[in-house]
Amino acid sequence: MPRFGRRLLAAGLILDTAELVCCGLPLVSWMGASPWDSLWLRVALPLTLAVWAAAALRMSSLVRPVLEVVAEVREGGKPKPAETEVARLGLARAPREVAVIHLLAWVLVASALPVHAVLGRERDPLSAAALIQLVLVTSAGLAAIRTLALEIILAPTRAILMPNLQGIRVFADRYRGALLAVGVALLGLWQTALAFFASTLGKATGELLTSGMYALWPVLIVGGYLWWRLALARTAPIEEYFDAALRTKGGKGPGRDDPKAVDAFVAAQRTPYALGVVQAVTFVAAGVAAVVHLGSGGRIGLAMAGRLLLIVLLVSLLATLYQTLLAQQVLRPLIRHLGSRHALPLDQVRAPLGLRTKLGGSLAAVLVAACAFVWLFVHAHAMWGRASLAVAMAAIFGVVMLLVRDVVSPLRALEERSGEMAKGQLARPVPPWGEADEIGRLAVMFEEMRRSLRDRLRSTESINVDLEREVRRRTEALEQRNAELHEALEKLRRAQDNLVRSEKLASMGRLVAGIAHEINNPVNAVINSLGPLDDLVKKIAAGEGDAPATLAKEAEEILAVVQRGASRTKAIVQALHGYARGDDSVQREVNLARSVDDTLGLLQHRLRNVKVAKDVEPGVRIMGFPGQIDQVLMNLLTNAAQAIGEKGGTISLAARNQDDRVLLTIADDGAGIPQDVLPRIFDPFFTTKDVGEGSGLGLSIVHGIIERHGGHIDVDSHPGQGTKFSISFPLPPVGGGARNPPTA
């Protein structure tokens, strides 16, 4: 049997026992030793048990489909819609029908026996009416308790049968009925407790039961009507909220700051206190009316009336406390719902009573009631006095437990949610446990803090998502830009190589005129010497002319001229070939002295009016591309020769090892470079020459070549004092050897 099935059985047994004690004992006590005792044993008790059996069978038939569906769901099955609907109807009807059956049984028994006794002239009508009222009100209270107990026990199955049903919808349909059930239950228990405690006082019990109980009816009827009207009026704001939130089709429902939510929260807080006050006034008035009725007839003395009034006050006090606490428990789901769904201004939803006032007043009332009950029953009949005192202490203990629960439970809930929030779990709300007293307001502030943290966290997460998206977009853009830049850099490198080659070819073109003249002179000397040499050879062959020795000596002189011209031509061609060779693929050791000599040999035609002061260490070497090093020397020496011009001057060229570098300097005593032009001389396409004399790429290419070789170039120039270029190269690595060129 499921756990709630066992709970149903236990609750039924406890309530059946309570009915026998609270309703059966007054009937037996009222009949006393009369012959009607046998009628109770022969007819009333079997009839009551038969009705109870029928109620148990009805309960079983209504709950069985619920048990079957729940068992099927727990085993992982999916019940059919028809089975679920039958179970749902049984779940809704079982508590009310079973309670009504029990109530009807006691109505039948409590009416039949006294009426039969009155007709047989065994009892007077007033006493019978008082007994009927006692049993009916008590059985109604127990029926209300049975309804509430069955609803509580069966509530968990509702979530299994209807998982999509909102709990607040169930509450909206049942909370007024639950408030009424609490009121009826406390009415029955109040009257039962009043009769039970009064019975310990001796003779007054019989008087109260026989001729005093009917005096309660008018006050209870009026008070009950006022209580229900007050309940309807006090819960009207709650109904307005439910109309807006649940019963309006197509509407968006109340907003987070809707005033209807605030009004509903205030009504849920104040309703239990208002109902408790009306109930207290009704119970006290009814009890006082009964005691006054007994005292006015002289049936009880002043001392007994005082004790009865004290019992009325004590029982009414306990009933009022239970009424307030239980009504708060009934309305607690609404308070928690409103606290978790809406923003509640603390200044508007403050509880009617503070925690100090509520606890202090309740505990003071409980302490006074305990002392009064002890004083009342300590000298009572031994058996009844102890039993009455035990019942009173149990009732007082129940009030204390409810008060402790209302204080401890919200603190535990706050502790649990604080731990969850400390771990970053901000999804679950922190609703107030009950009314907005000190603990409730703390819960409201906790909820506001949770919402604020959640909103800020969501905002931060949204910002992080946006940042990640922006970073991703920027990264993709950067990758695209990097690809474009890499492609552009590759194009620039190729363009730079093309410019270097173009500038080299342009330099070679500018050298052609002078070199042609340099080559033409030795070639002409060779050509002009070939004719005389031919004549000498013929004379020698013919044996004509001077002596052969003289002719041979002349031929040797002519051959020397031819040899010098050919050697000069060969040297010029080799230098030009070295300058023009394409050796940019692999770096190797470059003999800087040889490069200087080759370049000076090519530029002899430009250096006719220039004195070259050369101071180059023979063994100085660098790692690089020979053709590019030659181009650097060619451009710098050409610029120096142009700076000197036709007036003549000196170019100083030096190269030596200095620390871990190779220092190359080229200086001239020409016109110099203006200071405003000096910072721009390495800019591409910048030139001060006339159109056709230069492209402005020479020094820019020189700068790039030196940087590619890991070197550094400085210039020092003053107008009228000449210009000096200082270039430093790193020494070649130990062991030399070729290596791949560095990237530009």
- Give the CA angle between residues 518, 578, 629 to the nearest 5°: 110
Dump the DSSP string for 230-296: HHHHHTHHHHHHHHHHTSSTT-----TT-HHHHHHHHHHHHHHHHHHHHHHHHHHHHHHHHHHHHHH
Higher pLDDT, 510 or 31: 31
Instruction: Tell whether the model's pLDDT for residue 70 goes beyond 70.
Output: yes
- By three-state DSSP, how is residue 111 classified? helix
Closest CA to 280 of 315, 254, 237, 307: 315
Reading the block at residue 667, the tokens are 């200086």
User: How sure is the predictor about 65, in pLDDT bands with cuts at 50, 70 and 90?
Assistant: confident
Mean pLDDT within 544-557 = 70
Instruction: Say how far apart CA 456 and CA 463 lie, in whole Å.
Output: 10
Contact 665, 727 (CB under 8 A): yes
Mean pLDDT within 341-348 = 81
Contact 254, 342 (CB under 8 A): yes
Mean pLDDT within 194-202 = 76
Instruction: Tell whether the model's pLDDT for residue 585 goes beyond 80.
Output: no
C-beta atoms surrounding 24 within 10 Å: 19
Instruction: Say how far apart CA 520 and CA 677 lie, in whole Å.
Output: 39
Reading the block at residue 291, the tokens are 């005691």
Instruction: Tell whether the model's pLDDT for residue 724 goes beyond 50.
Output: yes
Which pLDDT score is estimated for 118? 67
pLDDT in tens, 98-144: 888 888 888 887 777 777 666 766 666 777 777 787 888 888 988 99
Mean pLDDT within 649-675 = 87
- By three-state DSSP, how is residue 716 classified? strand
Contact 107, 139 (CB under 8 A): yes
Domains and CATH numbers, the chain: 1-165 (no CATH), 168-436 (no CATH), 589-744 (3.30.565.10)
User: How sure is the predictor about 532, in pLDDT bands with cuts at 50, 70 and 90?
Assistant: confident
Instruction: Say how far apart CA 648 and CA 213 lie, in whole Å.
Output: 147
pLDDT in tens, 354-410: 878 888 888 888 888 888 888 877 766 555 667 788 888 888 998 899 888 888 888
Which pLDDT score is estimated for 279? 92
C-beta atoms surrounding 40 within 10 Å: 18
Contacts 24+ apart (CB under 8 A), 658-663: 658/728, 660/730, 660/731, 661/728, 661/729, 661/730, 661/731, 662/592, 662/620, 662/621, 662/622, 662/728, 662/729, 662/730, 662/731, 663/726, 663/727, 663/728
Q: Residue for token digits 């000196």?
A: 650
Length of the chain: 744
Instruction: Tell whether the model's pLDDT for residue 580 goes beyond 80.
Output: no
Classify residue 117 by burial, with Cβ atoms within 10 Å: 0-12, 13-18, 19+: buried
Contact 626, 590 (CB under 8 A): yes
Which pLDDT score is estimated for 282? 92
Instruction: Tell whether the model's pLDDT for residue 513 goes beyond 60.
Output: no
Closest CA to 23 of 202, 188, 145: 188
Instruction: Tell whether the model's pLDDT for residue 584 goes beyond 60.
Output: no
Average pLDDT for the chain? 78
Which pLDDT score is estimated for 462? 80
C-beta atoms surrounding 321 within 10 Å: 25
537: phi then psi, degrees, rounded to nearest 5 = -60, -40
Q: How many CA atoms lie within 13 A of 232 on its CB side?
A: 5
The CA distances from residue 498 to 249, 494, 501, in Å, are: 80, 6, 5
Q: Which of 105-119, 354-368, 612-626, 680-694 has the lowest mean pLDDT?
A: 680-694
- By three-state DSSP, how is residue 704 classified? helix
Closest CA to 431 of 416, 305, 86, 158: 416
Instruction: Tell whether the model's pLDDT for residue 422 goes beyond 90.
Output: no
User: How sure is the predictor about 323, in pLDDT bands with cuts at 50, 70 and 90?
Assistant: very high
Closest CA to 431 of 444, 448, 418: 444
Instruction: Tell whether the model's pLDDT for residue 81 goes beyond 80.
Output: no
Higher pLDDT, 12 or 712: 712
pLDDT in tens, 148-186: 888 888 887 777 777 666 678 888 888 999 999 999 999
Which pLDDT score is estimated for 107? 83
Instruction: Tell whether the model's pLDDT for residue 738 goes beyond 70.
Output: no
pLDDT in tens, 559-576: 776 776 777 676 667 666
User: How sure is the predictor about 36, in pLDDT bands with cuts at 50, 70 and 90?
Assistant: very low
Which pLDDT score is estimated for 518? 61
Instruction: Tell whether the model's pLDDT for residue 94 goes beyond 50.
Output: yes
613: phi then psi, degrees, rounded to nearest 5 = -100, 105
**Quick one: DSSP state of residue 659?**
T
pTM here is 0.62
What is the 3-class SS of 492-531, one letter each residue? HHHHHHHHHHHHHHHHHHHHHHHHHHHHHHHHHHHHHHHH
Instruction: Say how far apart CA 211 and CA 178 lie, in whole Å.
Output: 33
Contact 602, 515 (CB under 8 A): yes
Contact 155, 167 (CB under 8 A): no
Higher pLDDT, 332 or 531: 332
Instruction: Say how far apart CA 570 and CA 576 lie, in whole Å.
Output: 10
